[in-house]
Chain A
């Protein structure tokens, strides 16, 4: 086994265990902190995939903004989040069954797919992935339209969130 594979296995097992803690912990603050751990694991995976920019964006956007937003929401709805009553609903076994079946189905599909065992190609020397990504995002021949749609979506979400959470007194 190469060093890369060992790093992948350690980080992958850690990410999955942290993800399991997110969905099973009783205390929601702890669940949000385990989510931060999961997101860090995913950021390491992006680094292993030679996508450094994605790793940085993962840390800045997901951990810096989304996880903190979750912690704020947990604090604002604190009274109900105390550990009273069961944290899972009565049909939790059905949910577990559906999740297991989904995983088994995906695993079955992957095992039947021929090119699943391929290895990564060599990145040509001098290839500037971040610069290329930036150019593609604003180039009319490439992805400027999805980029602008995403900005409109963010503005709409911001206006909607402010309007929904606004306290009219």
Chain B
């Protein structure tokens, strides 16, 4: 049998990799890719807590499905923003998007 900690450590690793991507990538689309990795790590945690807790209560899976919906909404709005910014500024490099900075 697989102990619970294996899943949790794997999810922590995936979360840290996603965090690294969000912090260091210059391209806005690549930053959103990092956010997707972090959301997936959270989902692994939720589903494994469902499996290792009370299986008869579906709370973990329900939360994971809500996270799916939030991830889909996030990526749709985020990529629309990137495309819109690209149209007006002709760049998707996050450093160069400083219209709101003063």
Contact in complex: A70, B62 (CB < 8 Å): no
Contacts of B1 in A (CB 8 A): 2, 4-5, 119-120
Residues from 65 to 98 in B contacting A, C-beta threshold 8 Å: 65-66, 68-77, 79-84, 86-87, 90-95
Chain B interface main SS type: helix
**Size range of the interface on B?**
35 or more
Closest chain B residue to A158, Cβ basis? B76
CA distance A149 to B25 in the complex (A): 32
User: Does B100 count as interface, using CB distance less than 8 angstroms?
Assistant: no
Contact assessment for A49 and B24 in the assembled complex, using a CB-CB cutoff below 8 Å: no
> Total A-B residue pairs with C-beta atoms closer than 8 Å?
251
How distant is A62 from chain B, measured CB to nearest CB, in Å? 8
A23 touches B20 (CB 8 A): yes
Which residues of A does B touch, CB under 8 Å?
A: 2, 4-5, 8, 12, 15-16, 19-20, 22-23, 28, 31-32, 35, 38-39, 42, 45-46, 48-51, 53-54, 57, 61-62, 65-66, 69-70, 72-74, 76-77, 79-81, 85-89, 91-92, 94-96, 98-100, 102-103, 106-107, 110, 115-121, 123-124, 127, 129, 132-133, 136-137, 142-143, 146-147, 150-151, 153-154, 156-158, 160-162, 164-165, 167
Given contacts A95-B19, A102-B19, A133-B62, 12 further A-B contacts (CB under 8 A): A8-B6, A15-B14, A19-B13, A19-B37, A22-B17, A22-B21, A73-B79, A77-B86, A81-B27, A143-B62, A154-B73, A164-B77
Q: What are 23 A-B pairs at a CB distance below 8 A?
A: A12-B6, A38-B14, A48-B2, A53-B61, A62-B68, A66-B36, A73-B82, A80-B93, A89-B26, A91-B24, A99-B16, A99-B23, A106-B9, A110-B8, A110-B9, A117-B4, A121-B52, A121-B55, A124-B55, A129-B61, A153-B70, A164-B81, A165-B79
